[in-house]
Structure 1
Amino acid sequence: RAFASEDGENAAKRSEIALADVSRGRRIGSGSFGDVFEGALANGRAVVLKEPRRGVLGMFGSERFFVAEAENNRRLRGCASVATFLGVAGANAYLVWEDEGRKTLEEAFGTSFATELGCATEAAAAKKVAKECLKCVKDLHGRQMIHRDVKPNNLLIVKGGKLKLIDLGGAADLKTGRNYDEDETVFDPVYGPPERYLSGNYSGFAGVGSWAKFKPDLFDAFSCGLTILQVSVPAFRKKGGLNGVRRELKRWNYDCEAWRASLSAQRQSEYFEILDANGQAGWKLVCGLVAERDSRMSVAKALSSPFCR
Structure 2
Amino acid sequence: MAGRARAPRRASRPAPCRAVDPDAVAAAAAAVSDPETSSELISALSQYASQVPEALRPLANIAIQDLANALALTPTPDMGLHAAALWYLVLSRPAPLWNIGDLTIGSFLEKISEPKFAVDQFTLRDRLGGGNYGVTYEAIRMKNGKRVTKAQLTDEEKKNRVVIKRINSDSTGSARKDFLSKGTIARGAAEAGIVEVYMNSKIRRSLALRGYCAEYQGTFRAEKTDAGFTKGTEWLVWSFESDSTLQDAIAGGLGPWPSALEEIMLRRPVPEEKRAPDAQEAVDAAIVRKIMQQILKALAALHSIGIVHRDVKPDNLLVTVEGKVKVIDFGAATDLSTGINYNPEYGMLDPRYCAPEQLVLPSKTPAPPNPVLAAAVAPFLWIYGRPELFDSYSAGLLFCQMAIPEIRGKSQYGMFLQELEKADWDLAQWRASGQPRARNANFTMLDRKGGAGWDLAKRLVCKRNETTQRGRLSAKDALGHRYFLGFA
Check whether TM > 0.5: yes
Give how far 1:240 is off.
3.1
Query: Is 1:87 aligned with 2:218?
Result: yes
Alignment match, 1:300: 476
Identity of aligned residues (%): 31
Alignment match, 2:132: 32
Alignment match, 1:189: 351
Does the Cα contact within 8 Å between 2:167 and 2:193 map onto a contact in 1? yes
Question: Residues 135, 72 of structure 1: CA spacing in aligned structure 2 closer, same or farther, 3 A cutoff?
Answer: same
From 103, 124, 133, the equivalent of 2:295 is: 133
List, as ranges, runs of 4+ consecutive aligned residues in structure 1 with deviation greater than 6 Å: none
From 323, 328, 337, the equivalent of 1:166 is: 328
Query: Is 1:112 aligned with 2:239?
Result: no
- Under a length normalisation based on structure 2, what TM-score does the superposition of the two structures give? 0.57
Alignment match, 2:242: 101
Query: Is 1:151 aligned with 2:310?
Result: no
From 419, 435, 460, the equivalent of 1:248 is: 419
Query: Is 1:54 aligned with 2:154?
Result: no
Alignment match, 1:21: 121
User: Helix, strand or coil: the match of 1:209?
Assistant: helix
Does the Cα contact within 8 Å between 1:22 and 1:89 map onto a contact in 2? no
Does the Cα contact within 8 Å between 1:88 and 1:95 map onto a contact in 2? yes
Query: Is 1:290 aligned with 2:452?
Result: no
Aligned AA for 1:27? R
Give how far 1:71 is off.
1.0
In 2, Cα distance between equivalents of 1:305 and 1:56 = 47
Alignment match, 2:196: 69
**CA displacement, residues 140-176 of structure 1 (integer Å, 9 cap, x when unaligned):** 1011100000011111102322100000011101122
- Under a length normalisation based on structure 1, what TM-score does the superposition of the two structures give? 0.89
User: Helix, strand or coil: the match of 1:170?
Assistant: coil
Question: Residues 271, 88 of structure 1: CA spacing in aligned structure 2 closer, same or farther, 3 A cutoff?
Answer: same
Question: Residues 31, 174 of structure 1: CA spacing in aligned structure 2 closer, same or farther, 3 A cutoff?
Answer: same
Give how far 1:208 is off.
4.2
For structure 2, which runs of at least 5 residues remain unmatched after alignment?
1-102, 105-109, 144-156, 174-185, 223-232, 270-282, 369-373, 466-470
Which is bigger in relative contact order (C-alpha 8 A, separation at least 6)? 1
In 1, Cα distance between equivalents of 2:347 and 2:190 = 17
Does the Cα contact within 8 Å between 1:15 and 1:90 map onto a contact in 2? no
Does the Cα contact within 8 Å between 1:40 and 1:47 map onto a contact in 2? yes
Give how far 1:266 is off.
9.0
Alignment match, 1:216: 387
From 238, 242, 264, the equivalent of 2:409 is: 238
Aligned AA for 1:104? T
User: Helix, strand or coil: the match of 1:307?
Assistant: helix
Aligned AA for 1:29? G
Does the Cα contact within 8 Å between 1:230 and 1:242 map onto a contact in 2? yes
Does the Cα contact within 8 Å between 2:431 and 2:438 map onto a contact in 1? no
- Return 198-207 or 134-143, whichever deviates more: 198-207
Aligned AA for 2:242? G
Give how far 1:244 is off.
1.5
Aligned AA for 1:186? M
In 2, Cα distance between equivalents of 1:167 and 1:31 = 11
Alignment match, 1:3: none
Q: Which has the higher helix share?
A: 2
Question: Residues 57, 230 of structure 1: CA spacing in aligned structure 2 closer, same or farther, 3 A cutoff?
Answer: farther
**CA displacement, residues 271-295 of structure 1 (integer Å, 9 cap, x when unaligned):** 2010000011111011000000122
In 2, Cα distance between equivalents of 1:22 and 1:40 = 6
- Return 57-66 or 79-88, whichever deviates more: 57-66
User: Which is greater in Rg?
Assistant: 2
Question: Residues 306, 50 of structure 1: CA spacing in aligned structure 2 closer, same or farther, 3 A cutoff?
Answer: same
Q: Which has the higher strand share?
A: 1
Does the Cα contact within 8 Å between 2:405 and 2:441 map onto a contact in 1? no
- Return 87-96 or 132-141, whichever deviates more: 87-96
Give how far 1:34 is off.
1.0
In 1, Cα distance between equivalents of 2:358 and 2:309 = 13
Paired residues, number: 300
Aligned AA for 1:98? S
The Cα RMSD (Å) is 2.5
Aligned AA for 1:292? K
